[in-house]
């Protein structure tokens, strides 16, 4: 995949395809790191991982990046790190794929319950479950 990365814009939220690429914007006040993952197919490993630099790709509480060269129907998801403090409502797990909350489509329609947990109750920090999880699909705004 021939893409180039630049700062991007904090608004509008979600992924928005334009003529030359797409802007991705995600709100997370307590995240300490965000990675955008691109997939070539639903059951595969990420074909590209884009680590967002908070000094370049964060405005206030919004993480953002412009990906030039990306096309419609691109599969993507996020991995987000931050505090794991359930008593304070923080369930960050950098090993877990996170769907775009503004996505217009999600792949796979199998059992959503276990995969929807933000953590593994047995061991919340040691599993990388990128394969076979749901990912979101990038569409034109006129979808």
Helix (H) or strand (E) holding 115: helix 113-116
Domain residues of the chain, as ranges? 4-137
Class of domain 4-137: mainly beta
For the segment 13-64, what is each residue's pLDDT rounded down to a tens digit?
999 999 899 999 999 999 999 999 999 887 788 999 999 999 999 999 999 9
Average pLDDT of 86-111?
84
Alpha-carbon span 61 to 51, nearest angstrom: 16
Percent of the chain predicted with pLDDT > 70: 74
In DSSP terms, 24 is beta-bridged to 15, 65
Residue 26 CB-density burial (10 A; 0-12 exposed, 13-18 middle, 19+ buried): buried
Residue 43 confidence (pLDDT): 78
**Mean pLDDT for the chain?**
84
Q: Are strands 33-39 and 75-81 parallel, antiparallel or unpaired?
A: antiparallel
């Amino acid at each position: 995949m021939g893409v180039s990365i630049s700062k991007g814009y904090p608004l509008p939220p979600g992924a928005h395809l334009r003529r030359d690429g797409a802007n991705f914007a995600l709100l997370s006040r307590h995240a300490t790191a965000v990675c955008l993952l691109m997939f070539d197919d639903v059951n595969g490993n990420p074909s590209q991982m884009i680590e967002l630099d908070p000094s370049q790709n964060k405005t206030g509480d919004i993480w953002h990046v412009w990906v030039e060269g990306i096309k419609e129907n691109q599969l993507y998801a996020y991995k987000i790190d931050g505090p794991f403090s359930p008593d304070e409502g923080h369930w960050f797990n950098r090993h877990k794929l996170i769907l775009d909350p503004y996505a217009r489509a999600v792949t796979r329609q199998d059992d959503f319950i276990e995969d929807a947990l933000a953590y593994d109750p047995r061991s919340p920090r040691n599993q990388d479950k990128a394969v076979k999880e749901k990912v979101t699909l990038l569409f034109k705004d006129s979808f």
